[in-house]
Chain A
Amino acid sequence: MSAAPKAAIALLILLALVPPAAAAIGDPFLTVIATRMAVFAIAALSLDLILGYGALVSFGHAAYLGLGAYAVAVCARHGITDLFLQMGAAALAAALFAAVSGAVSLRTRGIYFIMITLAFGQMAYFFFVSLSAYGGDDGTALAARSTLFGRAWLENDTAFFYMVLACLALAYGGLDRLVHARFGRVLTGTRESELRMRAIGYRPFRYRLAAYVLSGMICAVAGVLLANQTEYVSPAYMAWTRSGELIVMLLLGGVGTLAGAMAGALVTVGLEELLAGWSEHWRLCFGLILLAVVLWSPAGLTGLLRRLLAGGRR
């Protein structure tokens, strides 16, 4: 096993140890933070598929978090409280939105792609802002967390955390298979050289669109979990700043490595909690840390780790 899957599995194990550790030191809030970390790790993984492997810099990815979150609220209002049904509905909505927005935005490249994905993200944002039945601008509180097999098991924070962790492990495992399968190699090829791909007989558009749709569906699942974690849904989940934050997670962790996406999400959420408690100007500190990492190691934290490991072997 190479270093990357080892690092990813180490992160998963580390997360799994948080609830017992939180119980030991009597700080249940740690589990809540770990839940947020795992939720955003799923979102970051989904973005890494298109941004890291496909070089498609989507600036509207938070829309899928929001779609997933609203799927919970809408389903719950219509009496569907089962987590898996809600995830299915969220994935379906995300697939439709991604298919339409992808079919348009993937005709463009570079800065145009960034702008069009941003525009679609903002469209989703303002759609939910105007949805007064669900609180409009303010959003709406959920009556309860989703159910599993008709039971309210997820009301327990620890049980909910392990549910989220299982989803993260599945997302990581599935994406790890995918990027190393035929599809992943083609997607990587379109990142490396579109012209070369066409010259050996591929039509990049269809692979990009498939990746774009899949990425949106996975992110919507993260949105379902996010809504459950906060027991609240609001358009703020799909603000463009949130899309930026997801990109920052990848930059911090290392673009184009799944372990890096996870690490980036963990560190970003962790730093947010840490710095926000310490100073109200935490965003400035966070910006400086990000700058330091990216300047020092363009491949992010995973690049740093790789260099350290290589250094140790020498």
Chain B
Amino acid sequence: MTLLAVRDLRKSYGALAVTDGLSLDVAEGELHAIIGPNGAGKTTLIAQLSGQLAPDSGSVTFDGTDITRTDMASRVRAGLARSFQITTLMPAMTALENVALAVQGRSGSSFRFWRPVAAEAALNDQAMTCLAQVGLADRADRPAAAMSHGEKRQLELAVALACRPRLLLLDEPLAGTGPQEAERLVALLEALKGQVTMVLIEHDMAAVFALADRISVLVYGQIVASGGPEEIRQDPAVRAAYLGEEAC
């Protein structure tokens, strides 16, 4: 079953067509990697899928519903969460507070003015679970601003998980992590496979080929190839456009 269907999506900045008639299907349960050179338009695509950017034309359908014109908040409610390539956290809040705020977003009204939110066990417990998943359980009380770059990347993922998404859009989750953290995150994504549908943008080819069920190659705003990892590895056009550079 197709969970996410993108049809003829277009977005231009002036004369630059960053998304140029892009179509994409993501099946329920799969981990769909999108690879492509710098500036190919991967982050711009994620921005349009998550509702941060409105496309010029084309459509995005999630679980059979056209969401092309709905805002980010409704898409999150529908089960679409994302992580950011450029870490986007609440610097002054602790790791736990960052994640608990995401849990709060889907647990009842936030128009509550009296009870201390820090004492809400239900929020904290779920947030701790997400922190533990990404390996940050012992960093719960550290302000995000005081975390290492790698830890921030892990927290970014924990916040997205806290939204309990059906579809997780991951924009280079491994960028800037050390080898140990990367290994841990790859193991986590492996474990999440099957539970959550994922669109993974990543430059780490080893991780991509190890994790992906399907891979689409994005070049100049267009999908130039799409298929299983083996198919993509063999595709001459892909090797020329992208993997060629990586191989040497």
Contact = CB atoms under 8 A, between A and B. Distances in A.
Contact of A195 (B52, B97, B114, B159): B52
Contact of B90 (A182, A193, A207): A193
B91 interface: yes
B89 interface: yes
A178 B117 CA distance: 10
Contacts of A195: 52, 84, 88
A201 B106 contact: yes
A1 interface: no
Interface residues of A, number: 24
A182 B112 contact: yes
Nearest to A175: B113
Contacts of A207: 110
Interface in B139-170: 159, 162-163
B226 interface: no
Interface residues of B, number: 37
B76 to A, nearest CB: 4
Interface in A175-233: 177-178, 180-186, 188-189, 192-193, 195-203, 207, 210
Given A199-B72, A200-B162, A202-B73, A181 B89 contact: no
B114 A200 contact: no
Contact of B50 (A192, A197, A199, A203): A199
A201 B111 contact: no
Contact of B88 (A177, A178, A199): A199
A199 B93 contact: no
A177 B119 CA distance: 12
Interface of B: 50, 52, 71-73, 76-77, 81-82, 84, 88-93, 97, 100-102, 104-106, 109-118, 120, 159, 162-163
15 contacts: A180-B118, A181-B113, A182-B115, A184-B117, A185-B101, A192-B89, A198-B52, A198-B73, A200-B81, A200-B162, A201-B76, A201-B77, A201-B163, A202-B105, A207-B110
Interface of A: 177-178, 180-186, 188-189, 192-193, 195-203, 207, 210
